Amino acid sequence: MIPRIASISLLLTVSTIAVAEPSAKTVYEQKCAACHGADRLGGTGPALIPETLKRMRGPAVSQVISNGRAATQMPAFADQLSADEVAALADYVKTPLERQPKWSKENIMASGVLHDGYQPPDKPVFNADAMNIFLVVETGDHHVSVLDGDTFERLDRFPTPFAVHGGPKFTPDGRFVFIMSRDGWVQKYDLWALQEVARIRAGLNSRNIAISKDGLWLAVANYLPNTLTILSTGDLSVARVFDVADKAGTPSRVSAVYQAPTRDSFVLALKDVAEIWEIATDPNAQPVYEGYVHSHEAGMVEAVPSSSGLFARRRIVVPEPIDDFFFDPSYRNLIGTARDGSKGVVVNLTVGRQIAELPLPGMPHLGSGISWMRNGRRVMATPHLKEPKLSIIGVDDWSLIGTIKTEGPGFFLRSHENSDYVWADVFFGPHKDAMHVIDKQTLEIVKTLRPAPGKTVAHVEFDRNGRYALVSVWEDDGAVIVFDAKTLEEVRRLPMRKPSGKYNVWNKITFSEGTSH
């Protein structure tokens, strides 16, 4: 006979074994892998890795596991998993991958999807001005609305890959648009046909895209893997995959890629190394140079030749990593944000070196910067992500002209060459429902709009003529509000599912000075 104490001990042991919960990895394999991939890199569902999850706005991961996610195929698991299992699973998907994943040219090509039945029309299937079309990204349920920029009627609404990021890019004729998701999916859509053409996965965790001046090439900036992918815009085939590392071999994430139209090139911001890359998009490009080195003669600098032709790469060495670029209209100079977010660094792309610094504390968001002519002088403005102000900079000598105090840190600035005003949101903080309208010449706030009290109001885009300004109510039950750009009166309100960015075809393909590029 087993002693009573021993019996209780044995019973507890058996009970513990009976209710022991499976490991988080096992739960993932059972409940998640079919949609999100055995490697957590995504499938029909998005990638479940820190690079994707930490940047997503919305409920906590554990809440999504328990309750599901509206307007997606994500089910609720609260009735299948215990609270401890949910917590463990949430921790598991937020754990970094054990090794850097690979995503080769072959992987990219194998992911491609062409849509059966697509027949390109000879002319638009609608009567609206094809140059005054808006695309509105609705992140609430992962769709894009296509709007007539004159009547603001919806022409189409189509699904996108999960978590669109970075602005859509249009071909120079405005016909096709390319849209990218954080998971690296690139979608091609024919605006004349109002139909998706194809999609392909160009990376595993991506930042943005850029299209070449001639419209033939699309560049995709990737965090995972550390690559730049260049696609043919015609059929989305892979033209080139660059492994991104500095001259010493240190790999780097690509923070962003930009088109430099006057230079026939792509310009890359690198997150982890002190270099800027420029890649030629012209097959007749002149020889490019691998940065600059000091010669043995004091004060002399010489260029190190690299290569010429299509996709020739040039390295520009800078004192420290910089990203989030703003370009002057000539694309000779760029301002980047220093790693500590306390200053702006000016790099001249012609000579290939840093030429100035600007004191810009509070993490300037230079990628949202815009420029205009003020009293015969070109100036640019940038919001700050951590301070309630806009900084005004003279582009001719890169001097800080002054600051404009706002009701909180902002995210986006917009204007139009036919408008007297700059529109600035207050994205962060308690006054997120404010939209400042600022006189370009006096730099005074002439009006603060609050079209949706208590809700986030952000991101302005003008129609092609600068007559109307469209503002997002950045909420799941949000709207796009159309304002008369001169009287500042509301004209129309269009219900939307968390509309974020809005993009006008004409403004984008003509590089309007009032919109970021």
Structure tokens at 484: 């008369």
Q: Which pLDDT score is estimated for 257?
A: 97
Question: What does the pLDDT look like over 177-213, one tens digit per residue?
Answer: 999 999 999 999 999 999 999 999 999 999 999 999 9
Residue identified by tokens 């010489």 is 302
Query: Which residues 6+ apart lie within 8 Å of 322 measured at CB?
Result: 269, 276, 336, 337, 338, 339, 345, 347
Mean of the pLDDT values across residues 224-232?
Answer: 97
pLDDT tens for residues 447-498?
999 999 999 999 999 999 999 999 999 999 999 999 999 999 999 999 999 9
Per-position DSSP letters for 281-341, written without gaps between them:
--TTPPP-EEEEEE-SSTT-EEEEE---STT-EEEEE-SS-EEEEEE-TTSSEEEEEETTS
Q: Are 392 and 384 in contact (CB under 8 A)?
A: no
Q: How far apart (Å, rounded) are the C-alpha atoms in residues 252 and 243?
A: 9
User: Is the pTM higher than 0.95?
Assistant: no
pLDDT at residue 429 is higher than 80: yes
- Residue scoring higher pLDDT (172 or 516): 172
Mean pLDDT of 277-287: 86
Reduce the DSSP state of residue 169 to 3 states and report it. strand
Residues 131 and 124: beta-carbon distance below 8 Å: no
* Lowest model confidence (mean pLDDT) among 160-169, 181-190, 294-303, 396-405: 294-303
User: From CA 451, how far away is CA 434, in angstroms rounded?
Assistant: 8
Partners of 484 in beta bridges: 468
Least confident of 78-82, 130-134, 305-309, 455-459: 305-309
Overall average pLDDT of the 431-436 stretch: 98
Residue 20, pLDDT score: 57
Q: How far apart are CA 233 and CA 170, in angstroms?
A: 10
CA distance 169 to 160: 14
Q: How many residues does the chain have?
A: 517
Task: Write down the pLDDT at residue 21.
Answer: 67
In angstroms, rounded to a whole number, what is the distance separating the alpha carbons of residues 185 and 202?
6
Sign of the alpha-carbon dihedral angle for 387, 392, 398, 400: negative
* pLDDT tens-digit readout, 51-77: 777 655 556 888 888 888 766 778 888
| E-only strand ranges, 420-489 | 421-425, 435-439, 445-449, 457-462, 468-473, 478-484
Q: Is residue 266 predicted with pLDDT exceeding 70?
A: yes
Residue 5 in this model has a pLDDT that exceeds 60: no
Cα 414 vs. chain centroid, distance in angstroms? 16
- 434-441's contacts with Cβ under 8 Å and 24+ in sequence apart are 434/406, 434/407, 434/408, 435/460, 435/471, 436/406, 436/407, 437/488, 438/390, 438/404, 440/372, 440/374, 440/415, 441/374, 441/375
Whether residue 306 has pLDDT greater than 90: no
Tokens of 286: 């002149």
Helix, strand, or coil here: 73? coil
Picking from 306, 326, 216, the residue whose alpha carbon sits closest to that of residue 260 is 326
- The class that CATH gives domain 406-517 is mainly beta
- Given a contact cutoff of 8 angstroms between Cβ atoms, the answer to whether 31 and 81 are in contact is yes
- Is 413 in contact with 370 (CB distance < 8 Å)? yes
> Residues 312-326, buried b or exposed e (16+ Cβ, 10 A)?
bbbbbbbeebbbbbb
Helix (H, G, I), strand (E, B) or coil at 132: helix
pLDDT band at 220 (very low <50, low <70, confident <90, very high): very high
Return all residues near 354 (Cβ < 8 A) that are at least 6 apart: 318, 319, 345, 346, 347, 348
Q: What are the tokens at 23?
A: 């490991």
**pLDDT digits over 352-408, tens only?**
999 999 989 889 999 999 999 999 999 999 999 999 999 999 999 999 999 999 999
The pLDDT score that the predictor gives to residue 6 is: 42
- Given a contact cutoff of 8 angstroms between Cβ atoms, the answer to whether 516 and 502 are in contact is no
pLDDT at res. 36: 84
The rounded percent of the chain whose pLDDT value lies above 90 is 69
Residues 226, 214 contacting (CB under 8 angstroms): no
Out of 8-17, 329-338, 408-417, pick the least confident.
8-17
Distances (CA, A) of 421 to 126, 405, 426, 469: 32, 16, 16, 11
For residue 295, is pLDDT > 90? no
Query: What number of other Cβ atoms are within 10 A of residue 196's Cβ?
Result: 18
In tens, the pLDDT along 111-130 reads 999 988 899 999 999 999 99
3-state helix vs strand vs coil in the chain, percent to 5: 15, 40, 45
For 10, counting Cβ atoms within 10 Å of its Cβ (0-12 exposed, 13-18 middle, 19+ buried), the class is: exposed
Instruction: Identify the CATH homologous superfamily for domain 12-93.
Output: Cytochrome c-like domain (1.10.760.10)
Domain coordinates in residue numbering, the chain: 12-93, 406-517
Locate the DSSP E strands across 149-225. 154-159, 169-170, 176-180, 185-190, 195-201, 205-211, 217-224
Task: Tell me which of 178-192, 283-297, 431-445 is least confident.
Answer: 283-297
Q: Report pLDDT digits (tens) over 84-101.
A: 888 878 888 888 887 778
Angle 378-257-194 (CA atoms, 0-180°, nearest 5)? 95
Indicate the average pLDDT of the chain.
Answer: 89
Strands 265-270 and 254-260: antiparallel
